Amino acid sequence: MSFLELTGVQKHFGPTVAVEDFNLAAERGEFVSFLGPSGCGKTTTLRMIAGFEVPTAGTIVLDGTDITHRPPNRRNVGMVFQSYALFPNMTVGNNVGFGLKVRKRPGDQIRKRVHELLELVHLGDKLDRYPYQLSGGQQQRVALARALAFEPQVLLLDEPLSALDAKIRVTLRHEIRAIQRHLGITTVYVTHDQEEALSLSDRVVVMSEGRIEQIGTPFDVYNFPATGFVASFVGTLNVLPAVVVDPVGGGLSVAGQAFRISRPVSARPGSTISLALRPEMVSLGEGGGENVLRGTVADVTFLGSIVRIRIAIADGVVVTLDEFNEPTLVLPQLEASIAISFPAEGPLVLESVPVIEPDELIAEA
Amino acid sequence: MTIETRAPGALDALVASGRRRRRLPRVNPFAWLIFILGVLYFLLPLVGTFLHSIRTRPDIFLAYRQVFADSKFFVGLGYSFAVGVITIVVSLLIIVPTAYWVRLKVPRLRPVVEFVTLMPFVIPPVVLVFGLIRVYSSKPLVLTATNIGSDFVLVCAYVILSFPYMYRAVDTGLAAIDVRTLTEAAQSLGAGWARILWRVIFPNLRTALLSGAFLTMAIVIGEYTIANFLARTQAFGPYLSLLGRSQPYTPAAVSLISFGLTWLAMGAIAFLGRGARTRVQVAGAR
């Protein structure tokens, strides 16, 4: 049996279905992220684990104990909020020690633990400060220390970095992961930021409209998206309308240009399917794989470490590709005729993404 | 026809002075008139009361001396102060958990609760006290027959009178803090409802609670109708009224003294609430 198990969990708010048949088994010490757009049910699911919402159906089992209907203050679950939620009337030390005081631990034990946790989050010198005297990043560190102080069985983080600026977000992200690994605590992390989810997690749960779209390692979710939604939400994606030529041999064509994918296609010859192609699978020139398409350069965007190039294959069919920004890189001229190539393993057939309008051909998360 | 000539640069200076003039706020004579009328409206009664209180001859401060020499003044003030403190405590114990619960769990009931707390504005004190006397002077619960029973009814009536002020003060205080998230944070740390209220909500409502408390105190100190009908003649309101009937100048002195005490109370709100307000406002802003 897994350490944290959610089985058939549902949550309805009146006629609105917020979470539908949610099943997850997380192992002890695992870092699981819930990833999805706003309103996909990720925070509601987290709140059900915390006990702030009661599931309409299903069970939540923590370390073999059914906690579905247990009040939040008796769950032994630590929570970090987006808005820090530090008690403004208490010092940093009292905030961190609050959970231990509630549990009636002796004073010297509380002091020792508070020191320990504040050292862990690099705020050992801020014991007597009030929350308003700290920066956003420091406040969130205190919130993390407070949530960990009473040694909860599970740590829940609800978009903890959303309110912080980009640089602190990245630093704190690494710190959270390091602390989680150091303590070996089972962690559930809610985010709408794919980079956060992919870089932090052992497994990612991608959600949409209250349903789980895919559960997998960051590698699997990125490289082998189970549904069209996952493919379009995680990472940058080219979606091409391809006509099936040879279903068994994986033969397809885009705008009259033939190419081949490495697996058979379950569609009739002559029908159109949606094909997903990651920008990093595509190379400039003919040396990037056995498939070659020709088009004209529509746009070149400099993004610092990479250069993003958009190639128009035909009217309304555009492929985006990324090149590393090296000093030797020769940028193609706009309107120039150019060849691009990709391996047969590169494209993924998307069953559920319809052939879409030209403007939407590049779906970015 | 005259042609006006100006020295070079004079036009620039004129434009610049025009710009300067535009930057100054325009003085609206009507606004000044309203302001002066307002000041007169508030100050004239005070000045009049003061002038009336010093009309005693040859000792112009005789009325003030009499007030401080009269033990009934201190008894009345002490009694009303004690009733005020009990009223504040009871009112807080009813209003804070109610306002907190309504905000947290049943926000759709807020208009209803707000309406209920406004009832003292709709029902005149004389109606309220007659209702209370009718109910509590006959069986099964005879309270007005004893002094302690009447004191109890008086406090209950004052608690009801304090509702509009106390509820609004507390509700505004709750709006200034993120009640839901703070509650959930405390819950996730293992705290029960009593601890959340006592350790998290109450301390963060300090300024709001002080405002509500002092407003309540001001009402209780000056209240006459209910105290009089419940035969609490030692209370400050009835004492003041009685004094007015028997002595010409002393009530004016007493009024000014109680006015001064009220201002002291307001000053105390500003002073005690200063730290708390700063904390709540700045939290999370950096």
Tell me whether residues B187 and A77 touch, CB distance under 8 A. no
In this prediction, residue A65 has a pLDDT band, given cuts at 50, 70 and 90, of very high
- pLDDT of A354: 42
**A151 has a chain B CB within 8 A of its CB:** no
Q: Which helix (H) or strand (E) holds B251?
A: helix B250-282
Tell me whether residues B187 and A131 touch, CB distance under 8 A. no
In this prediction, residue B281 has a pLDDT band, given cuts at 50, 70 and 90, of very low
Out of A85, A89, A103, whose CB is closest to B190? A103
Angle at A130 between CA A127 and CA A135, to 5 degrees: 95
Q: How far is A6 from chain B (nearest CA, A)?
A: 19
Distance CA A59, CA A227 (A): 26
Average pLDDT over every residue of A37-55: 95
Tell me whether residues A132 and B279 touch, CB distance under 8 A. yes
Q: Is B3 helix (H, G, I), strand (E, B) or coil?
A: coil
Position A181 pLDDT exceeds 90:
yes
- Residue among B268, B263, B234, B224 nearest B76 (CA): B234
Report yes or no: A311 and A338 within 8 Å, Cβ to Cβ: yes
Distance CA B219, CA B91 (A): 13
pLDDT digits (tens, 9 = 90+) for A251-265: 999 988 999 998 888
* R_g (Cα) of chain A, nearest Å: 25
**A77 has a chain B CB within 8 A of its CB:** yes
Q: How many CB atoms lie within 10 A of CB B235?
A: 25
Structure tokens at B89: 């405590």
Tell me whether residues B190 and A139 touch, CB distance under 8 A. no
Q: How far is B275 from chain A (nearest CA, A)?
A: 10
- Residue among A341, A337, A314, A339 nearest A259 (CA): A341
Out of B190, B279, B283, whose CB is closest to A73? B190
Tell me whether residues A50 and B282 touch, CB distance under 8 A. no
Average pLDDT over every residue of A140-149: 95
Distance CA A350, CA B164 (A): 62
pLDDT digits (tens, 9 = 90+) for B16-61: 444 445 555 677 889 999 999 999 999 999 999 999 999 888 888 8
Query: Which residues does chain B have within 8 Å of residue A130's beta carbon, measured at their own beta carbons?
Result: 279
Out of A73, A83, A99, whose CB is closest to B284? A83
A positions 291-330 inside 8 Å of B (CB):
none
A positions 327-356 inside 8 Å of B (CB):
none
Arithmetic mean of pLDDT over chain B: 83
Residue type, A177: R
- pLDDT of A158: 96
Q: Nearest chain B residue to A156 by CA: give it.
A: B188
Tell me whether residues A139 and B191 touch, CB distance under 8 A. no
Instruction: Give CA torsion, residues B91, B96, B101, B102, to 10 deg.
Output: 70
- pLDDT of B136: 85
**A203 has a chain B CB within 8 A of its CB:** no
Overall size of chain A counted in residues = 365
With a pLDDT cut of 70, the percent of chain B lying above it is 85
Tell me whether residues A72 and B184 touch, CB distance under 8 A. yes
Q: How far is A95 from chain B (nearest CA, A)?
A: 10
Instruction: Give CA torsion, residues B22, B25, B27, B30, to 10 deg.
Output: 120
Average pLDDT over every residue of A157-185: 92
3-state secondary structure chain A: CCCEEEEEEEEEECCEEEEEEEEEEECCCCEEEEECCCCCCHHHHHHHHHCCCCCCEEEEEECCEECCCCCHHHCCEEEECCCCCCCCCCCHHHHHHHHHHHCCCCHHHHHHHHHHHHHHCCCHHHCCCCHHHCCHHHHHHHHHHHHHHCCCCEEEEECCCCCCCHHHHHHHHHHHHHHHHHHCCEEEEEECCHHHHHHHCCEEEEEECCEEEEEECHHHHHHCCCCHHHHHHCCEEEEEEEEEEECCCCEEEECCEEEECCCCCCCCCCCEEEEEECHHHCEECCCCCCEEEEEEEEEEEECCCEEEEEEEEECCEEEEEEEECCCCCCCCCCCCEEEEEECCCCCEEECCCCCCCHHHCEEEC
pLDDT digits (tens, 9 = 90+) for A294-322: 999 999 988 888 888 999 998 888 999 98
Position A227 pLDDT exceeds 50:
yes
Q: Which helix (H) or strand (E) holds B73?
A: helix B71-104
Q: How far is A335 from chain B (nearest CA, A)?
A: 48
- pLDDT of A279: 87
Tell me whether residues B286 and A135 touch, CB distance under 8 A. yes
Position A228 pLDDT exceeds 90:
no
Integer angstrom CA distances of residue B109 from A52, B95, B102: 21, 14, 7
Q: Nearest chain B residue to A99 by CA: give it.
A: B189
Integer angstrom CA distances of residue A284 from A47, A307, A320, B173: 47, 12, 11, 62
The whole-model pTM stands at 0.77
**More reliable by pLDDT, B9 or A346:** A346
Out of A88, A99, A132, whose CB is closest to B189? A99
Tell me whether residues B184 and A103 touch, CB distance under 8 A. no
Exposed/middle/buried for A232, CB within 10 Å: 0-12, 13-18, 19+?
buried
Distance CA A105, CA A108 (A): 9
Distance CA A42, CA A206 (A): 9
Report yes or no: A121 and A179 within 8 Å, Cβ to Cβ: yes
Strands A154-158, A77-80: pairing kind = parallel
In this prediction, residue A280 has a pLDDT band, given cuts at 50, 70 and 90, of confident
Taking an 8 Å Cβ-Cβ cutoff, which residues of chain B contact chain A? Answer: 177-178, 181-182, 184-192, 195, 199-200, 203-204, 206, 276, 278-280, 282-286
Query: Which residues does chain A have within 8 Å of residue B278's beta carbon, measured at their own beta carbons?
Result: 132
In the numeric block, the tokens 């300067």 are attached to B20
DSSP per-residue codes, B268-282: HHHHHHHHHHHHHHH
Q: What is the DSSP letter of B108?
A: G
Tell me whether residues B187 and A52 touch, CB distance under 8 A. yes
Q: Is B156 helix (H, G, I), strand (E, B) or coil?
A: helix
Structure tokens at B264: 């002291």
Partners of A312 in beta bridges: A296, A318
Tell me whether residues B188 and A131 touch, CB distance under 8 A. no
Structure tokens at A278: 């990651």
Position B5 pLDDT exceeds 70:
no
Tell me whether residues B190 and A79 touch, CB distance under 8 A. no
Q: Nearest chain A residue to B184 by CA: give it.
A: A52
**More reliable by pLDDT, B12 or A292:** A292
Q: How far is B209 from chain A (nearest CA, A)?
A: 15
Strands A77-80, A186-191: pairing kind = unpaired
Q: How far is A123 from chain B (nearest CA, A)?
A: 17
- Residue among A356, A357, A359, A363 nearest A225 (CA): A363
Distance CA A6, CA A207 (A): 15
Overall size of chain B counted in residues = 286
Query: Which residues does chain B have within 8 Å of residue A150's beta carbon, measured at their own beta carbons?
Result: 189-190
Structure tokens at A93: 């030390």
In this prediction, residue A204 has a pLDDT band, given cuts at 50, 70 and 90, of very high
Number of C-alpha atoms within 13 angstroms, CB side, residue B218? 17
Q: Nearest chain A residue to B193 by CA: give it.
A: A73
Q: Which helix (H) or strand (E) holds B190?
A: none
**Which of B189, B202, B281 is the best substitution to test chain A (most A C-beta atoms within 10 A)?**
B189
ipTM entry: 0.81
Structure tokens at A32: 């699981």
- Give the contacts of B127 (CB within 8 A, at least 6 positions apart): none
Structure tokens at A148: 């960990």
Q: Which helix (H) or strand (E) holds B109?
A: none
Query: Which residues does chain B have within 8 Å of residue A84's beta carbon, measured at their own beta carbons?
Result: 284
